[in-house]
Amino acid sequence: MLPLGTILFPMIAGVAVSAISMETRTRRSLYAAVMLVTDLLGLLTVFFGRTVTLFAFTNSIHMKFSVDPIGRYYMIVVMLLYTCVLFYSFEYMNIEEREHIFFAFYFACFGALLSVALAGNLVTLYLCFEMATLTSMPLVLHEMSRDAVSAALKYLFYSVAGALMGLFAVFVACYYASDADSFVQGGFLDLARTAGNEKIILVIVFAGILGFGTKAGMYPMHGWLPTAHPIAPAPASALLSGIIAKAGIIAIIRLVFFSVGPDFIRGTWVQYAWMSIAMLTIFMGSMMAFKEKVTKKRLAYSTVSQISYISLGLSILSMEGLAGGLLHLGAHAVSKGCLFLCAGVFIYKLGSHRVSELRGIGKQMPIVMWCFTLASLSLVGIPPLGGFISKWYIALAAVGDGMGVFSILPPAVLLISALLTAGYLLPVTVDAFFPGKEEGKAVKESREKEESREPSVLMTVPLIVLVCAALAVGVFGSRIAGILEASLAGIF
């Protein structure tokens, strides 16, 4: 019952703590306790979790949760980012209203994402995926302003539309399955039943990839990301970009590698269309981020680009591509989570929302700006940080797969995107530490008062932890990839 307890405990306990009237300090202490207990349950589930079956949808498909390598990996990333963001939020939420409502949905969404990681079959995954959407939407809505309502509705409509496309793929995969009650490495399609229906199945599987890819910001369904991020509180933005959007990636992995099977779509138009859209999204997201002047919106467009690195790795349909995509899932989660939390510090301490307002801030916030710099270098792909090793695996997978022009284009797109990423992130660092004569208004005011703007340890420690995690992915990336490859060898 460990998987079920891990999912339900944060949802029930987090909402209960939010519903009971108490002092803010006491409530925050209880939130911290809920988080630490959930992390402990999660670690026990990672090492000792077993399959739990709740009830039957049909005679052959049940609501069930189980533990496998993909679920373990995603769970660890979810718990790391959620834990860091929680303690950061204790300080940040001082400038927001309705803190208890924010944390109620914070923990509800936490449980929903853990259920996505632990879903034992495609139908259970779909229900958990939808629950993650419904519990995360209020995080965008939190300010309750007209812009927040508009952004939340856009997020909801895009996500529901994408999920409905994914639902068609779930129906088809289960209909043609030999046994749809569990995920199977390499897929569970009954090839005798699919004979003669391959074309229509490919169309619907492609629709499923696009549908689940909506959550991951895949073009042309990416529009919710740059709308939702600037309006959501910074902790919510870190979660949306760092880990909630990755629920779409997990759903694609489950559909392609554990349900339909990579062999079914390898060499077909679906693979090449998927790769093309991923590369287009990478380039488009990087270009939009390069032009954007609002800090959080620039980071949102960056997320559109960076998550499609993962999609590109998956679309190669090889072990190296899958390993590279999973490594980038972790590297991007901690790096982009750190960047959004840094953006939250700029808002919290300076009221600064635009990149131009950050000139000279490095002298007032050296710790924050160094964390921002290192996280940026990770996304650019500078060794030994995590973004380098993940992109290296993806590029090698493309070059070694013998797909003609599709072996050359991915490394070229990755290189161009890396240059653009450096172009829209590193100037922020340069201007922060070497502003020249022009400085942001808030920075001038703090200089005149000889005032340090460095935030409290509740904010700085999570930033440092996330940067260390990005470094760990880079240093131990080959070992992590080796473990993933050994445990997922049955897929190929």
* pLDDT in the model for residue 147: 86
**Residue-by-residue DSSP string for 208-265:** HHHHHHHHTT-TTS-THHHHHHHHS-HHHHHHIIIIITHHHHHHHHHHIIIII-HHHH
For 54, the 3-state DSSP assignment is: strand
What is the token pair recorded at 294? 């609002």
pLDDT tens, 246-293? 999 999 999 999 999 999 999 999 999 999 999 999 999 999 999 889
User: What is the average pLDDT across 460-465?
Assistant: 96
Residue 289 and residue 299: Cα distance in Å, rounded? 7
Q: How confident is the model at residue 217 (pLDDT cuts 50, 70, 90)?
A: confident
pLDDT tens, 165-205? 999 999 999 999 888 889 999 999 988 888 888 999 999 99
Query: Rg of the Cα trace of the chain?
Result: 22
* pLDDT in the model for residue 403: 78
* pLDDT in the model for residue 308: 93
- Could you tell me the pTM of the whole model? 0.94
pLDDT at 448 over 70: no
| Cis ω before 230 (30° cut-off from 0) | no
Residue 218 and residue 209: Cα distance in Å, rounded? 9
* pLDDT in the model for residue 450: 47
Rounded to an integer, what is the distance from CA 65 to the centroid of its chain?
Answer: 21
pLDDT tens, 307-346? 999 999 999 999 999 999 999 999 999 999 999 999 999 9
Q: What is the mean pLDDT of the chain?
A: 90
* pLDDT in the model for residue 437: 65
Distance in Å from the first CA to the final CA of the chain = 31
Q: How confident is the model at residue 385 (pLDDT cuts 50, 70, 90)?
A: very high
pLDDT tens, 141-162? 888 888 889 888 998 899 989 9
- Structure-model confidence comparison of residues 399 and 277, the more confident one: 277
* pLDDT in the model for residue 343: 93
Residue 31 and residue 483: Cα distance in Å, rounded? 34
pLDDT tens, 21-71? 888 899 999 999 999 999 999 999 999 989 999 988 888 899 999 999 999
* pLDDT in the model for residue 352: 84
What is the token pair recorded at 245? 């959007």
* pLDDT in the model for residue 439: 61
Q: Do 238 and 340 meet the contact criterion of CB atoms below 8 Å apart?
A: yes
In Å, what is the CA distance from 87 to each residue of 32, 100, 456?
Answer: 8, 14, 11
Residue 64 CA neighbour count, 13 Å, CB half? 21
In Å, what is the CA distance from 100 to each residue of 17, 72, 93, 324?
Answer: 8, 30, 10, 38
